[in-house]
């Protein structure tokens, strides 16, 4: 049997886990009707449950409704306020910068504060690199820098241009 067939077999099983850590006992009625006791038969191997999905769950059309820029800003501000570790911070940044828009300064402020809260200096520097890559022209980048200058100085976040001036 090929490994692909085994994977398909495992995907079609009906148990919560692939292998049981210990065997489970299954009660089987005794052969004679005179005896009222049941025979306990241990079962090994594949458990019952569906471990792998072979189809994609259908989402409702409401989940794909377009959100306004204000809703986007409010959602990501809330996401960055709830960040607890570096992974969440970087995941939220990747998601925020994946859209065809530049996040507002309030989202950037929340992201920088979250980076400081989880003590991740490199990600804070990369936030400004992402802004520079995302804006249409250098003037917009300069506007972001002037608007966020006080917060940058307060948090001690340097720009890549300041850290490596000879690479320009």
Q: What is the pLDDT of residues 121-141, one digit of tens each?
A: 999 999 999 999 999 999 999
**CATH, domain 66-167, list 3.90.1300.10, 3.40.50.10420, 1.25.40.40, 2.40.50.140:** 1.25.40.40
pLDDT at 119: 93
pLDDT at 12: 57
pLDDT at 109: 97
Q: Residue 23: which pLDDT band, with cuts at 50, 70 and 90?
A: very low
Q: How does pLDDT run across 27-80, given as a tens digit for each residue? A: 555 555 555 555 555 555 545 455 554 544 555 555 667 889 999 999 999 999
Q: What is the mean pLDDT of residues 133-152?
A: 94
> If DSSP codes are grouped into helix, strand and coil, which group holds residue 115?
helix
Residues of the chain with CATH 1.25.40.40: 66-167
pLDDT at 166: 82
Question: Is pLDDT of 83 > 50?
Answer: yes
Q: How does pLDDT run across 4-19, given as a tens digit for each residue? A: 555 555 555 555 555 4
> Could you tell me the pTM of the whole model?
0.61
> If DSSP codes are grouped into helix, strand and coil, which group holds residue 15?
strand
- Of 150, 151, 93, which Cα lies nearest the Cα of 127? 93
Burial of 108 (0-12, 13-18, 19+ CB in 10 A): buried
pLDDT at 165: 84
Is residue 77 within 8 A of residue 106, CB to CB? The reply is yes
Question: Is pLDDT of 89 > 50?
Answer: yes
Distance separating alpha carbons of residues 155 and 151, to the nearest angstrom? 6
């Amino acid at each position: 049997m090929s490994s692909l067939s085994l994977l398909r077999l495992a995907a079609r099983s009906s148990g919560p886990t692939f292998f049981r850590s210990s065997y489970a006992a299954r009660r089987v009625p005794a052969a004679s009707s005179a005896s009222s006791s049941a025979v306990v038969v241990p079962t090994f191997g594949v458990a019952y449950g569906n471990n792998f999905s072979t189809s994609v769950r259908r989402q409702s059309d409401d989940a794909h409704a377009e959100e306004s820029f204000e809703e986007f800003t409010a959602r990501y501000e809330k996401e960055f306020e709830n960040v607890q570790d570096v992974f969440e911070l970087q995941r939220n940044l990747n998601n925020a910068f994946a859209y065809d828009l530049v996040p507002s300064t309030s989202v950037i402020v929340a992201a920088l504060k979250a980076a400081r809260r989880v003590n991740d200096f490199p990600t804070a520097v990369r936030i400004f690199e992402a802004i520079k890559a995302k804006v249409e022209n250098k003037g917009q980048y300069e506007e972001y820098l002037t608007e966020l200058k006080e917060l940058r100085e307060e948090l001690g976040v340097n720009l890549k241009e300041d850290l490596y001036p000879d690479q320009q």
